[in-house]
Amino acid sequence: MRVLGIETSCDETGVAIYDSEAGLLGHALFSQVGLHADYGGVVPELASRDHVRKLLPLVHQVMAKSNTQPSDLDGVAYTAGPGLVGALMVGACAGRALAYGWDIPAVAVHHMEGHLLAPMLEENPPAFPFVALLVSGGHTQLVEVCDLGDYEVMGESLDDAAGEAFDKAAKMLDLDYPGGPRLAALAEKGDSKRFTFPRPMTDRPGLDFSFSGLKTYTLTTVRKNALEDGLPDEQTCADIAAAFQEAVVDTLVIKCRRAIKTSGYKTLVIAGGVSANRLLRERLEVSLRKDGASVYYPRHEFCTDNGAMIAYAGGLRLQAGERTGLAVDVRPRWPMIELPKTKF
């Protein structure tokens, strides 16, 4: 089965073609980082308009690159949520229209399911069952994955997600958008032992997360060490960034080890933008090795939003017989527990 995948949930336009026998045939991504940088964050209306401009040219580009004609396609998959409603509508309307025009089925894909399955695109994919840590944008979740389509949320963020905490801490340090990767880069120059930040909700049972208190602690530390211009000196900013990153990474690692022990599984998958963090990957690999477990993650280009993960996830659901009707329905909020537990 050959599927065209479309991703437009936020600020990246992703298109890909995946073949169930030949694998990933082609993919392209346009990031709107430059567009939103002047505003310090994503402007939903600008994001939607840019998806309109970039989506169809990317479709033509990927189809040409993969030597694919419309008659070669067996379906179109598009992200229907969660995400920004305007951005989702662009991809959903285009995907549904293309499928209708080409007389092939369409399927709506859950954005987080796409991230969860992204490691399956690698040469050495994980085997079911496993625990997944999803750290993408406004989501931080630990999910028990028994099989494809059979998911149970074990724990999730009660307020700010890890990615949001990174971005907000970066703003406190006056770092440019996108803040998360810039804070991680600044942390490389810092001394993580100069400041001791809390590891939220690790002193109690459970697998839920909370990063709002850590965000407040970071702001207090910045203000205590601020100079006349309102910011600490350059080295202190780097030390704060390092301490903050250590706190987030330690918290995620502690919860992941706890989830592995609770489930009894020996495999952890991490996916989403924060899964590209170097320190997080290193700490998880070392810690889980001690527990006799393994960790899997997608290549860096598939950690952030992309069309390949949507094409792959959509292809599986199309193979399972799922189809989306002519009505275009997007869901800015869409809990994973509401996905049908389809056996593929």
181 phi, psi to nearest 5 deg: -60, -35
Of 170, 171, 126, the C-alpha closest to 147 is 126
* DSSP designation for 276: G
- Could you give the count of Cα atoms lying within 13 Å of 137 in the half-sphere of its Cβ? 16
β partners of residue 150: 147
Taking residue 199's Cβ as centre, other Cβ atoms within 10 Å add up to 18
Whole-angstrom Cα distance, residue 37 to residue 44? 13
Residue with tokens 């040409």: 64
Whole-angstrom Cα distance, residue 249 to residue 83? 25
Binding residues: 111, 115, 134-138, 167, 180, 277, 305
The two tokens of residue 74 are 């067996």
Let me know the angle formed at the C-alpha of 250 by 258 and 309, rounded to the nearest 5 degrees: 75
Binding residues for Fe cation: 111, 115, 305
Binding residues for substrate: 134-138, 167, 180, 277
Whole-angstrom Cα distance, residue 214 to residue 164? 12
Sheet holding 139-147, edge to edge: 150-156, 139-147, 130-136, 267-271, 294-296
